[in-house]
């Protein structure tokens, strides 16, 4: 009788058996085994290499691939301040592939803008910003030796004290023209934002390329300017897929680059017209050169190793027109709104003006440095409403450590000056408009040395036009307050709502009715005589 040998089932299966269960051949199984081993070895090495590496800053959890993008709130300056109250003075969000590091304290601002200024000296490239500046040919987005050359041109040649002082008469004439026009509108509602914008645009363009160039800026063009700048600010302030996912940047899925270049064509036509007129008639002036004269002379005498190109000339003109007008007019609009909301500050400013100038005279440029309360008003407005709530975002040139956290190379660095300047641990009654906090103290200026107060930034990337802005703000605001009384139209309400963007604008325009304040009508005629 034949016997059958029974084998107990094995608790282990051979590779060939496992493969057969999944319908895999022996060769395929070997390849899978090698792949598993390779990936296991790779992640083991990766974990070992990361051992001891400091973590990224804390922040809210996001979703795969898109990160925190769906949870962002429209008013980013407030949203980022709220994150700080939860995660601390340095935190992060991830937007697509982009890590955004948010700094909400003076100590963190100092770390970025001073202590590690060299690493963080570059601004974060964004598609909209590059597109609006002739592919980054301006002082904002240029880097390295090119940026140093442009900075030298702006600070030492164009915006030095001598050039700014030479433009005193231009600024005064343009302001007096506005005051004269306002006198013709006495008793009727006027959009103070539009009036201020026209004044600042005319002042800046006259200093840039002179008052003798044909085709000056009129009210219509000034209104178009504010509209174009509004659209540019909106584009710069919204998230752009091209910035968050560089792999699809070339497709410009949201059309930001296309829209920005279309808006820039408006400026380009003006610049090309001005350059054509100027190049057709070479200037023989030796004194009182306008800014374009200076730039063209530098362009003609170009250093072969680092020339100033005509494209860079136009990019610098754009920087000065845009930054020197929109931020200034927005700040003045906020000043009028804040003072009308708090009449006691308006009275103090006017009492100071009356004591120094009197209502039998008109305010002149040389009066302004002798008006400390007016200066305090301007500083308090810039504290509560910094024109650029995040300055202009920086980016590190290498991965580094900030406050015990790893900050990756090419991440976006947002210094929340809006939150810093409203920090209740630094400022008493931080959200209240109190100009007196800036009186009788010499420590507050615009140089960026005290990181509790940085409306124009700090370090090597501080705004190069600070001195010009300082001279313009006090003179325009003081003249409006000294020459006219202002009141709201019947039934109108004044709000302080802001609209987030690259420039923190007031959401709704300020509509006011002017009435004469000077003692005699003849005084208003002086504005025409000095125009």
**By the 8 A CB rule, do 418 and 504 touch?**
yes
439 lies in some domain: yes
pLDDT band at 219 (very low <50, low <70, confident <90, very high): low
Could you tell me the end-to-end alpha-carbon distance of the chain, in angstroms, rounded to an integer? 130
319 lies in some domain: yes
* Residue-wise pLDDT tens digits, 352-374: 999 999 999 999 999 999 999 99
Q: Which of 21-25, 204-208, 369-373, 467-471 has the highest mean pLDDT?
A: 369-373
Could you tell me the sign of the dihedral formed by the alpha carbons of 289, 168, 509, 414, in that order? positive
148 lies in some domain: yes
pLDDT over threshold 90, residue 375 = yes
pLDDT band at 517 (very low <50, low <70, confident <90, very high): very high
489 lies in some domain: yes
504 lies in some domain: yes
Mean pLDDT of the chain: 86
The pLDDT score that the predictor gives to residue 184 is: 95
For the domain that residue 415 is a member of, what is the CATH number?
A: 1.10.630.10
**By the 8 A CB rule, do 477 and 173 touch?**
no
pLDDT over threshold 60, residue 195 = yes
Point out the least confidently predicted range of 35-49, 494-508, 512-526.
Answer: 35-49
How far lies 50's CA from each of 39, 406, 510, in Å? 16, 12, 55
Q: Which residues pair with 516 in a beta bridge?
A: 484
Q: Which domain holds residue 295?
A: 69-529
The pLDDT score that the predictor gives to residue 427 is: 96
Number of neighbouring beta carbons within 10 Å of residue 525: 12
**By the 8 A CB rule, do 369 and 412 touch?**
no
* Residue-wise pLDDT tens digits, 135-174: 999 999 999 999 999 999 999 988 998 888 888 998 999 9
The pLDDT score that the predictor gives to residue 29 is: 45
505: Cα separation from own chain's centroid: 11
- Indicate the number of domains in the chain: 1
pLDDT over threshold 60, residue 285 = no
The pLDDT score that the predictor gives to residue 18 is: 34
Taking the C-alpha atoms of residue 388 and residue 457, their distance in angstroms, rounded to an integer, is 9
Q: Report which of 522, 493, 490 is spatially closest to residue 508, judged by C-alpha positions.
A: 493
Element at 384 (helix H, strand E): helix 372-384
- Average pLDDT for 84-112: 96
4 lies in some domain: no
pLDDT over threshold 90, residue 396 = yes
pLDDT band at 460 (very low <50, low <70, confident <90, very high): very high
Q: Which of 9-23, 201-215, 452-466 has the highest mean pLDDT?
A: 452-466
The pLDDT score that the predictor gives to residue 13 is: 39
pLDDT over threshold 70, residue 38 = no
Could you tell me the sign of the dihedral formed by the alpha carbons of 19, 25, 29, 30, in that order? positive
34 lies in some domain: no
Q: Which of 257-271, 379-393, 497-511 has the highest mean pLDDT?
A: 379-393
**By the 8 A CB rule, do 435 and 373 touch?**
yes
37 lies in some domain: no
């Amino acid at each position: 009788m034949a016997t059958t040998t029974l084998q107990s089932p094995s608790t282990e299966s051979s590779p060939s058996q496992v493969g057969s269960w999944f319908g895999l051949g022996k060769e395929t199984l070997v390849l899978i085994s090698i792949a598993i081993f390779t990936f296991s070895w790779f992640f083991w090495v990766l974990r070992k290499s990361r051992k001891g590496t400091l973590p990224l800053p804390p922040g809210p959890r996001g979703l795969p691939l898109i990160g925190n993008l769906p949870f962002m709130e429209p008013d980013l300056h407030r949203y980022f301040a709220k994150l700080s109250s939860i995660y601390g003075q340095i935190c992060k969000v991830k937007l697509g592939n982009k890590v955004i590091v948010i700094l909400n304290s003076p100590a963190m601002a100092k770390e970025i803008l001073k202590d590690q200024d060299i690493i963080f000296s570059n601004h974060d490239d964004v598609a909209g910003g590059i597109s609006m500046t002739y592919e980054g040919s301006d002082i904002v987005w240029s880097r390295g030796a090119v940026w140093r050359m442009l900075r030298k041109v702006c600070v030492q040649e164009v915006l030095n004290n001598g050039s700014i002082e030479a433009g005193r008469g231009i600024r005064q004439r343009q302001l007096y023209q506005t005051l004269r026009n306002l006198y013709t509108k006495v008793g009727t509602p006027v959009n103070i934002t539009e009036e201020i914008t026209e004044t600042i645009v005319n002042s800046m363009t006259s200093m840039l390329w002179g008052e003798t160039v044909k085709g000056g800026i009129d009210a219509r063009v000034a209104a178009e300017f504010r509209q174009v700048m509004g659209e540019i600010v909106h584009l710069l302030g919204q998230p752009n897929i091209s910035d968050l996912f560089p792999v699809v940047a070339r497709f410009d899925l949201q059309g930001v680059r296309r829209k920005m270049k279309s808006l820039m064509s408006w400026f380009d036509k003006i610049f090309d017209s001005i350059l054509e007129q100027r190049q057709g008639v070479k200037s023989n002036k030796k004194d009182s050169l306008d800014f374009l004269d200076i730039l063209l002379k530098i362009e003609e005498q170009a250093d072969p190793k680092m020339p100033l190109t005509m494209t860079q000339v136009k990019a610098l003109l754009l920087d000065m027109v845009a930054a020197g007008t929109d931020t200034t007019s927005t700040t003045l609009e906020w000043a009028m709104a804040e003072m009308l909301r708090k009449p006691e500050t308006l009275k103090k400013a006017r009492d100071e003006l009356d004591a120094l100038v009197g209502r039998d005279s008109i305010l002149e440029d040389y009066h302004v440095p002798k008006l400390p309360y007016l200066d305090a008003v301007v500083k308090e407005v810039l504290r509560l409403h910094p024109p650029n709530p995040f300055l202009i975002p920086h980016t590190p040139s290498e991965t580094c450590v900030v406050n015990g956290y790893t900050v990756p190379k090419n991440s976006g660095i947002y210094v929340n000056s809006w939150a810093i300047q409203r920090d209740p641990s630094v400022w008493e009654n931080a959200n209240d408009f109190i100009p007196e906090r800036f009186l009788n103290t010499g420590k507050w200026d615009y140089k960026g040395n005290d990181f509790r107060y940085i409306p124009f930034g700090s370090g090597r990337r501080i705004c190069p036009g600070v001195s010009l802005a300082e001279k313009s703000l006090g003179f325009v605001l003081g003249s409006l307050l000294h020459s006219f009384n202002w009141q709201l139209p019947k039934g109108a309400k004044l709000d302080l709502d802001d609209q987030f963007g690259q420039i923190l604008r007031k959401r709704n325009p300020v509509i006011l009715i002017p009435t004469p304040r000077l003692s005699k009508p003849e005084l208003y005629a002086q504005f025409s005589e000095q125009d």
